[in-house]
Structure 1
Amino acid sequence: MLRQKHPCDMKSKTNSTEEVYNVKRTPSSPQGGPKKRSAFVDLTNQKTKTQTVIQTKNGKTVVDKASNRKEVIRTHSIQKDCKDFFAEDQPKKAVFKAEEFPVDCLSVCQPDEQSKLQRRKVCVAQVPEEFDVDKEHIGDCLLSPEYAKDIFDYLKNREENFLLSDYMHKQPDLTQDMRGILVDWMVEVQENFEMNHETLYLAVKITDHYLSVDVVMRESLQLIGSTAMLIAAKFEERCPPSVDDFLYICDDAYKRRELLVMERNILQALNFDINIPVSYRFLRRYAKVAHVNMETLTLARYVCELSLLELELVSERASRLACACLLLALITKDLGGWTPVLQYHSGYALADLSCLVRRLYAMLASPSNDKLNAVDNKYSHRVFFEVAKIPLVNIDTLEEALTVL
């Protein structure tokens, strides 16, 4: 069972891959059927006071707020007013004619096609025509193509506020292996609750930032990981799991109050700024720029998610890590190298990525740890195109692709 696994427990996992993927998991509580979230109670079930309308002798109506009767007394005068309101002889709503509006208002409220095209040209003029990968989505408000590049440029600039370094020397009671076991367990939590991948990446980022500023004991490590998942789920999910769900997957090792106190401590340590750029968002953007298929994107996602286990990669910028993962996937699938359009949208040249790509290749080539197999098991399933089983590209082919001018 997932709930029996603890980051400080070095025993190998007993679950088989088939049990993980053959069981349909739901975001509801693992304890049983769907559980009603306390944060989403039906507000229409709230008790409301009944107001009673009574008629005085002079024919006026007043509201009796002190009355507790459930029925509302509808007087003859009120019924008459209702009949008069729906009478056919009542005046119709005023209909405004277009010519009554000033010309300037009409140009704003009802723009013609020419003005629409002019505004679109102004919005996308900053991107060269040969590098404009969003022009096909112009007019789709859900994708926001006019602002796509600006959004990711903004996220790339925000990375300056969240730079990390190897913090493990500040943690006398923790080791690199303990962090790896925790992240491996967080991958299983994300998978079993069927949460977004952004939630996992953000939770790992929150955990690393908290561990970099506060000294913790190993007994609290799983509590920190669970609380980070809760915070990330609140930020990313439409219907996040409840506090009780996270207490359950920790095998009730912690109390509700402990988790809530840890949530406050983490938020205060991060100054309540949890909008941390994550590599998964950049990876999807750059994959769209490269026009790769879903299998190639999934291969890059596998490499990117596997890098979450590596402590030495926490110092890498999310945007640069996403570029390196995509480039390694492109070389593995023999789809070319780093193109000018990728360099334009990412801001990284091939020389900026070569060293990191080699580090990721060495990570994939190293023997896998039997205790940290959640990512491998996840991406060995056919839902993810079994990309974890794809053989590594030849080292000579890799070096050739990284040295092409």
Structure 2
Amino acid sequence: MPFTRGKKPTTSKIPKLGAKSAEKQVKRSSSPPHGAPRKRTAFIDITNAVSQCFLTPQFDGDEEVVRPAHKIELSNPIKKDLLKKVQKKTSVAVKNDANPKKSASVSSENKTEEVQNGASLVEKPEEPISRPSLPPHLLPPTVPPEFDIDSDPSNDCTHTPEYAKEIFDYLKNREEKYVLHDYMESQTSLNGTMRAILVDWLVEVQENFELNHETLYLAVKITDHYLDQHQASRESLQLIGSTAMLLACKFEERLPPCVDDFLYVCDDAYKRSQLIAMEMNIMQGLNFDLNIPIAYRFLRRYAKSACLQFHSGYSAKDLRPVVRHLHRMLSAAPDAKLATVRSKYSHKVFFEVALIPTVSLEKLEKFLEKETSQK
């Protein structure tokens, strides 16, 4: 698969914002023309009703006249409740001046009501609300203390130990929906070697873009599930892989690379319209469901556990066929075309696991027999 090092120079055609216009802007006058109604401006006259509610007493000779305020100052924002109280006090004050006897009776009634309300609050304390207990099937699963690997918050700042086991049980149940078969038998133009070269190239893309490991694993899963349902040609295999990586980036990454970056790593072998069309085909083929369980999530969880049988649900006997298959794959002669994966896991970040010699089959079988007998 072609992969060109370096970055392609790009020129921006986006016009700059904030450029000054050649025409002079005429400032609109705030005062209305002669005879026209005055318009309400933002944050000064909020509504007609509010502007009329602020009444200020003014004196015209010896008579007191109540006139609306001319301007509302909003340097300190006033809450709605406070506005209602001010309006109520102003209206009550005007009525009290007209009828002092009635205002005295109203004030006495208000005081008696406040006293009664205060007495009722004292006499009737709030009772604690009793919450109904949850049914057994809704209670979280109980984890024995010796098997607890989620309570330590130092592993992840976003860790939720109370939901961790339920989350992974849910992912394990979803795996049954995404069981892959050997689809290469139905692919007339592809074979296993071509898929291996594509995966090795996806690893190189993941390293160059510095993507998460979950993104790489999800991209490979998306590619496999699409090829399991659709026929593909040899020329479109890289397009399928790069589009799958783009979808995985949108699902996993906080800042995913753009479409032009994936066209660039494909050495401009495809057009933008082809990649977008393939993206639509993959999404429709997966029924717009990208939440595919990947092995890397389980690996991160099980790597810190010494009680794999409790958390995984598998015994040593269940793992024997998978261990033998992995040993046979690792013992095979390395392929010169697949150097990226071996180079990646030869790094110190991954503890140089690719440089560790593979154990012999006899030693592996003794270990498996020992583990099976202990269980």
TM range (shorter): 0.5 to 0.7
Q: Quick one: which amino acid aligns to residue 31 of structure 1?
A: K
Cα pair 2:141 2:165 within 8 Å, conserved: no
Which structure has the bigger radius of gyration? 2
Paired residues for 1:26-65 under 5 Å: 30-31=7-8, 54-56=30-32, 60-63=38-41
- Sort the Cα spacing of 1:206 and 1:52 in 2 relative to 1 into closer, same or farther, 3 A: farther
What are the residue-to-residue correspondences of 1:2-401 with 2, within 5 Å? 3-4=3-4, 30-31=7-8, 54-56=30-32, 60-63=38-41, 80-82=71-73, 85=76, 102=126, 104=128, 126-137=142-153, 142-290=158-306, 341-401=307-367
Query: Following TM superposition, by how much is the alpha carbon of 1:127 offset from its aligned partner in structure 2, in angstroms?
Result: 1.4
CA gap 1:52/1:403 in 2 versus in 1, 3 angstroms: farther
The alpha-carbon distance between structure 1 residues 103 and 136, as it changes in their structure 2 partners (threshold 3 A), is: farther
What TM-score results when the alignment is normalised by the length of structure 2? 0.67
Take 1:31 and 1:352, find their aligned partners in 2: how far apart are those partners?
50
From the superposition, tell whether residues 159 and 232 of structure 1 become closer, same or farther in structure 2 (CA, over 3 Å).
same
Q: Aligned-pair distance for 1:397?
A: 2.7
Compute the displacement of 1:135 (Å): 3.0
- Alpha-carbon distance change, 184 to 59 in structure 1, aligned in 2, over 3 angstroms: same
Q: Distance in 2 between matches of 1:284 and 1:80?
A: 65
Equivalent residues of 1:30, 1:245 under 8 A apart: no
* Alpha-carbon distance in 1 for matches of 2:229, 2:258: 27
Give the secondary structure class of the aligned counterpart of 2:189: coil
Aligned equivalents of 2:179 and 2:364: distance in 1?
29
CA RMSD of aligned residues (A): 3.9
1:201: Cα distance to partner?
Answer: 0.5
Normalising by structure 1, report the TM-score. 0.62
Q: Distance in 2 between matches of 1:101 and 1:2?
A: 77
SS class of match (1:348): coil
Q: Distance in 1 between matches of 2:245 and 2:232?
A: 18
> What amino acid maps onto 2:361 in structure 1?
I
Does the 8 A contact of 1:52 with 1:63 survive in 2?
Answer: no
1:210, 1:269 within 8 Å by CA — same for their partners in 2? yes
C-alpha distance in 2, partners of 1:79/1:248?
65
What's the CA shift string for 1:385-405, capped at 9, x where partnerless?
A: 222111122433322221111
Take 2:160 and 2:285, find their aligned partners in 1: how far apart are those partners? 33
Aligned-partner residue type, residue 274 of structure 2: E
The 2-side partners of 1:369 and 1:237 are apart by: 31
Identity among equivalent pairs (%): 53
- Equivalenced residue count is 288
Alignment partner of 1:62: what SS?
Answer: coil
Structure showing greater relative contact order (alpha-carbon pairs closer than 8 Å, 6 or more residues apart): 1
Decide whether the 8 Å contact of 2:140 with 2:166 is kept in 1: no
